[in-house]
Amino acid sequence: MRNVDLHLTDDVTLRVHALRGRFVPTRPGTPPNLDLKDSYVVEVDAGETAIDQAALNTLMNKYVFGDEKAPIKDLDIKVEDGVVKEKGKLDKKIDIPFKVKGAVDVTPDGKLRIHAKSIKSLGLPVKPLMKLFGIEMDDMVKMPPGHGVTVDENDFIIDPEEMMPPPRMRGHITAVRIEGDEIVQTFGSAAPPPLAAGLSRNHIYWRGGTLRFGKLTMRDTDLELIDQDPSDPFDFSAPRYNDMLIAGYSKNTPRLGLKTYLPDYDDLKAGRRVAGTPGAAAKRASLRRSRP
């Protein structure tokens, strides 16, 4: 992938600057199927992705702490001034409001660490008090396994593989930084080279193996999804990709591959027709013929 705003759900978007990896089937003997998001895992070899604070808040409140028994509720995250600021309530017998300000780092096993620089409750610093009584954040926040968030002393450890809704993405994060309101994650050691020459500026491209989508099965896959409007990132919805296919068009290549040209999903939602589609071209031609 390159220059893709990837909608994992209707309300969670991952910005993919560049990514190279593999679709690995989760069911023996059955190829990955784009219509079945739990039929594959994306194993990332190298690349760079970003998530903004809006998507991060949705992930945390809906997919991580969405359970009524979750130890934290009403979580609000802000990514600004190079730090992550969190506030919410510890779900105890009496809800305890808290604020945490922390820096972002990477753990040795490739997860994200939000290192708490300050912890406040009711407007008062509580970190010195916790230290006095030998209490850490992990004594107060007990997270069940499988939610993608654990607490190590006073730090939050985030595992994007477990936290993200399907399709799962699995990879080793080697670096992280904050840019504006986004947390940018680097996988591997460098930006991945393209899989083939001549790919479009904004694309999703599969090569090799077997891939299913709709009623089709493609063997020795050679499939490129191309952004019709490369002036901005390719806005692609994994759950709604068929709606995008209906609004786009495809061309076969001399090597029996397929190039599919798609409008941005946000344009599709807004009802905007993208210049460059066959319908738009026909309309322009009709206008030219009607001119005196």
Question: DSSP state, 192?
Answer: P
∠ CA 249-250-254, rounded to 5°: 160
β-pair partners for 16: 4, 49
Q: Tell me what pLDDT residue 144 has.
A: 60
At position 192, the amino acid (one-letter code) is P
Tell the residue number behind the tokens 């759900």, with chain if given: 9
* Same domain, yes or no: 36 and 137: no
Q: Tell me what pLDDT residue 99 has.
A: 79
β-pair partners for 218: 211
Flag whether 138 is in a domain. yes
* Same domain, yes or no: 132 and 199: no
* Same domain, yes or no: 196 and 261: yes
Flag whether 169 is in a domain. no
- Give the chain's domain count: 2
Nearest alpha-carbon partner for 10 in 190, 180, 243, 228: 243
d(CA 38, CA 219): 20
* Same domain, yes or no: 259 and 199: yes
* Same domain, yes or no: 124 and 199: no
∠ CA 17-199-165, rounded to 5°: 40
Q: Tell me what pLDDT residue 61 has.
A: 84
Flag whether 289 is in a domain. no
Flag whether 9 is in a domain. yes
CB 206 within 8 A of CB 257: no
Secondary structure (3-state) at 279: helix
* Same domain, yes or no: 84 and 149: yes
* Same domain, yes or no: 138 and 212: no
Nearest alpha-carbon partner for 86 in 122, 51, 62, 53: 53
Tell the residue number behind the tokens 């050679």, with chain if given: 222
* Same domain, yes or no: 57 and 89: yes
The parent domain of residue 244 ranges over: 2-42+190-284
Burial 146-159 (b: 16+ CB within 10 A, else e): ebbbbbeebbbbbb
Supply the pTM of this predicted model.
0.81
* Same domain, yes or no: 259 and 196: yes
Q: Tell me what pLDDT residue 150 has.
A: 77
Flag whether 173 is in a domain. no
Q: Tell me what pLDDT residue 123 has.
A: 53
Question: DSSP state, 65?
Answer: S
SS3 for 243-268 is HHHHHCEEEECCCCCEEEEECCHHHH
CB 22 within 8 A of CB 208: no
At position 108, the amino acid (one-letter code) is P
- Average pLDDT for runs of 10 along the chain of length 292: 93 93 93 94 94 91 74 84 85 67 90 79 47 43 64 79 83 93 89 83 96 94 96 94 94 95 91 54 40 43
